[in-house]
Amino acid sequence: MKTMRLYFCLCAVFCFNSLFAQEEMGDGFLFPQFESGIVVFKNGTRTPAPLNYNMLQQVMMFLDNENNMMEFADLSNILVVIIGERRFFPISLKGMFYEEIKAGEGSFFVQHKAVMISQGKAAAYGGYSQTSSVTSISSIQGGSMDSQGGTLGIIGLGRTDLKVDEKFKMRKECSFFIKSGNGYKRFTSAKSLGKLFKGQASKIDEYAKEHSISFSNQEDIAKITEYTFSLVNN
């Protein structure tokens, strides 16, 4: 594990349960528990570790030998993280990863994200009043310490302005991307996908209508991207 600088992550997601009413929430992680995985570095080193992706904080996390929850200090040297048969690629130095999904002769990428939605504020007799405004919270973060015990600094809650008298539930959101050069381009419809594959827009649109493709459904996304790559490669 010496190839990684380790950070203790005092994740506020776990203490959140005791602060806010959230019967309908999960814990914000992609997997139910930390799964055995491999971190592949650009120099060819492969390091096994228990891994999980925090969708609220948008960071890949792992457990050290003492089961402390950690996050990577430096993503610039990581090529890919493999959990089971699933592959996750670092997208930003802030910790975000996209999952690669194979689709025929090509692939698309999924951004797994969780947001917390306010269900209202506490009312009389233990109930919750409905509010006209919806508070969306995309990141809950705590402090961190380096492996030597030195403080790296506390990361505040930013603009979230959470209140203990509010009820929240978690909602998972997925965004879909095609890799283009060194970047990733998002698509949300047949029209936007067609723009990424010039000359194929009409066929993609026709396929989407014929198969009633939902661009919020990952299985449908896999179908239409597999079809799209077949057009390009034939």
- Residue 92 CA, distance from chain mean position: 12
Mean pLDDT of 212-222: 96
Mean pLDDT of 123-143: 44
Mean pLDDT of 15-32: 54
Residue 232: predicted pLDDT = 86
Q: Is 153 a residue whose pLDDT tops 80?
A: no
Q: Is 146 a residue whose pLDDT tops 70?
A: no
Burial class (CB in 10 A: 0-12, 13-18, 19+), 108: buried
Classified as helix, coil or strand, 126 is helix
Q: Is 120 a residue whose pLDDT tops 80?
A: no
Mean pLDDT of 132-152: 33
Record the tokens describing residue 71, joined without a space: 């996050």
- Smallest CA-to-CA distance from 26 within 121, 160, 116, 142 is with 116
Residue 127: predicted pLDDT = 55
Mean pLDDT of 60-65: 91
**213: amino acid identity, one letter:** I
Mean pLDDT of 197-206: 95
Could you read off the pLDDT of 45-54 as tens digits, one per residue? 999 999 999 9
Mean pLDDT of 69-88: 93
What proportion of the chain, given as a percentage, has pLDDT over 70? Answer: 68
Residue 207: predicted pLDDT = 97
Residue 37: predicted pLDDT = 96
CB of 6 within 8 A of CB of 73?
yes
pTM metric for this prediction: 0.73
Q: Which of 1-5, 12-16, 45-49, 156-160 has the highest mean pLDDT?
A: 45-49
Q: Is 36 a residue whose pLDDT tops 70?
A: yes
What proportion of the chain, given as a percentage, has pLDDT over 90? Answer: 52
> pLDDT band for position 230 (50/70/90)?
very high
The residue among 48 and 165 whose pLDDT is bigger is 48
How far from each other are the two terminal CA atoms of the chain, in whole angstroms?
Answer: 45
Mean pLDDT of the chain: 76
Mean pLDDT of 46-75: 91
